Structure 1
Amino acid sequence: MDMLQNLQNVYLKIETAANLTGRKKEDITLIAVSKTKPIEMLEEAYNLGVKVFGENKVQELVEKYEKLQDVHWHLIGTLQKNKVKYIIDKVDLIHSLDNFDLAKEIDKRAKAKGIIANVLIQINIGEEESKSGILKEELNQFIEELKVFENIKVCGLMAIPPKCTGDEVRYYFKQMKILFDNLKTKENSKLIMKYLSMGMTGDYEVAIEEGANMVRVGTGIFGDRDYTK
């Protein structure tokens, strides 16, 4: 596997998709999804210029955090309340806020550290029972509920659409962009629509074409994962 070639390919696709929407590649944040990958591969990616890494599991993020400095960590997987304390001061962004109780814990832990926790609200855009996230119809009410928290800043939205291709997945990305743009008209000190995080290795080009400015690419950079290890 040639990681340099993989990265160059990803950057080229990002640039091409961004140009189609009148943007530049610099307008798109690439998150290298490094779950299950050894620290040596992260170091290789870092040396090739990657500075933003995304992890799904708290324990794995914490272990890698201790070994790789000067990078930006994102927690992109489901976050349990009892694990917030381990990553609250280690991540730049939590992608998976989807309920009030989790928000309450994030706020509490952030307050204790004297920091503001930057979060994305995860939307279950395909209304799948197997996935986390709130329904799009619940979004405005959820935003209202979050106003009580002083140490949380909502910085955008995140979604993982149902497994589909082409026009089907494009439909879900379009729906997310509508939600994102609607909230942008309601911005305040605790609500800044900065990031629309959607698109992974199989569909990040389509996601960018439909308005994503943050994509999560793992296999496209690091190769296939071995979940048996």
Structure 2
Amino acid sequence: MNVTTGLDAHESEECAADLHERYARTRRMVAELAVRHGRKPEEVRIVAVSKYQPAAAVATLAEAGQRDFGENYVQEALAKQREIRRPDLRWHFLGRLQRNKAKYLPGNFILFHGLDNAVLALDLHERFQAKSQVLDVLIQVNLGDERQKGGIAPEELSNLVEHVGGLSGLALRGLMALPPFELDLAHKQRLFSELRKLRDAVRRQTGLALPELSMGTTDDFPQAIAEGATMVRIGTRIFGERPTRVAS
């Protein structure tokens, strides 16, 4: 399958080879960082952020062994799923979710990285419970106090954890954060450390396992892995620069 439409066969093969090489380099780096910080490579999962990327590029990456893909727009993700038809792929929904899009998550996404309010939690619970399914969720914590971004304030975390714990259609797996882009790497690493400490505090208070910490992107995943990330959301480092948005 061609990675980019409108290219001849030779150019498409070169694009696919470049994608494979970027992916291989990223996998090696993530594995090396995990080992450097006393962990096994398989303890850090790459979520390939495929937002705006064509389905063909996702399929090429799947052929290279990648299974976890992250999308920010429901309709775009569903179109790719229909085109690729790979039931072995694991689709993650990243970021803010409009309530009118929540109905599309059952059967199509295995993990939601951006839960940040009780109303949305109840809505998702009801939709998944109606289909006898359970959605794994991560609570997004707003560590940079950015009002324009999603995420719950750290002081409100305990209440949302308790609320989610009472919803059988949801399974709380851990926390997620996206620090302000403009911060330097040292500051971002301190925020990643803060998220880990918040997760550990909730563990002690509730007895929940909360195994997942989704933190770190193309620009700062080494710092996130150093602070215990179990999932790193990497897009442009693997796919290259994002093309024009392909779906709404």
TM range (shorter): over 0.9
Alignment partners' CA distance in 2, 1:18 and 1:227? 33
The reply to whether residue 217 of structure 1 matches residue 234 of structure 2 is yes
Q: How far is the alpha carbon of 1:185 from its aligned partner?
A: 2.3
Q: Deviations over 1:169-227 (max 9, x none)?
A: 11111111101111222455xx4312100000011011001110100000011000123
Q: How far is the alpha carbon of 1:168 from its aligned partner?
A: 1.2
1:58 to 74, 80, 83: 74
Equivalent residues of 1:187, 1:193 under 8 A apart: no
Q: How far is the alpha carbon of 1:20 from its aligned partner?
A: 2.1
Identity %: 37
- Residue 226 (structure 1) aligns with: 243
Letter of the structure 2 residue corresponding to residue 180 of structure 1 = R
Aligned-partner SS, 1:67: helix
Q: Deviations over 1:121-176 (max 9, x none)?
A: 01111111111000111101111222331211100101100122221111111111
The reply to whether residue 85 of structure 1 matches residue 103 of structure 2 is yes
Alignment partners' CA distance in 2, 1:186 and 1:15? 32
2:35 to 19, 37, 40: 19
Equivalent residues of 2:165, 2:172 under 8 A apart: no
Count of matched residue pairs = 227
Letter of the structure 2 residue corresponding to residue 218 of structure 1 = G
Q: Deviations over 1:26-55 (max 9, x none)?
A: 111100000000111011101111111000
Equivalent residues of 1:56, 1:76 under 8 A apart: yes
Structure 1: 5+ residue runs without aligned partners? none
- Residue 203 (structure 2) aligns with: 184
Alignment partners' CA distance in 2, 1:90 and 1:221? 23
Alignment partners' CA distance in 2, 1:207 and 1:26? 15
- Residue 123 (structure 2) aligns with: 105
Q: Deviations over 1:86-131 (max 9, x none)?
A: 1222111011110011001000100111011110001111111111
Alignment partners' CA distance in 2, 1:166 and 1:43? 32
- Residue 11 (structure 2) aligns with: none
- Provide the TM-score with structure 1 as the length reference: 0.95
- Residue 177 (structure 2) aligns with: 159
Q: How far is the alpha carbon of 1:63 from its aligned partner?
A: 1.0
Moved more, 172-181 or 142-151: 142-151
Q: How far is the alpha carbon of 1:228 from its aligned partner?
A: 5.7
Alignment partners' CA distance in 2, 1:75 and 1:228? 17
Moved more, 61-70 or 25-34: 61-70
Q: From the CA coordinates, give the structure whose radius of gyration is larger.
A: 2
Q: How far is the alpha carbon of 1:14 from its aligned partner?
A: 0.7
Equivalent residues of 1:17, 1:206 under 8 A apart: no
Moved more, 34-43 or 145-154: 145-154
Alignment partners' CA distance in 1, 2:19 and 2:36? 26
- Provide the TM-score with structure 2 as the length reference: 0.88
Equivalent residues of 1:157, 1:195 under 8 A apart: yes
The reply to whether residue 198 of structure 1 matches residue 231 of structure 2 is no
Change (3 A) 1:185 1:83: same
CA RMSD of aligned residues (A): 1.4
Letter of the structure 2 residue corresponding to residue 60 of structure 1 = E
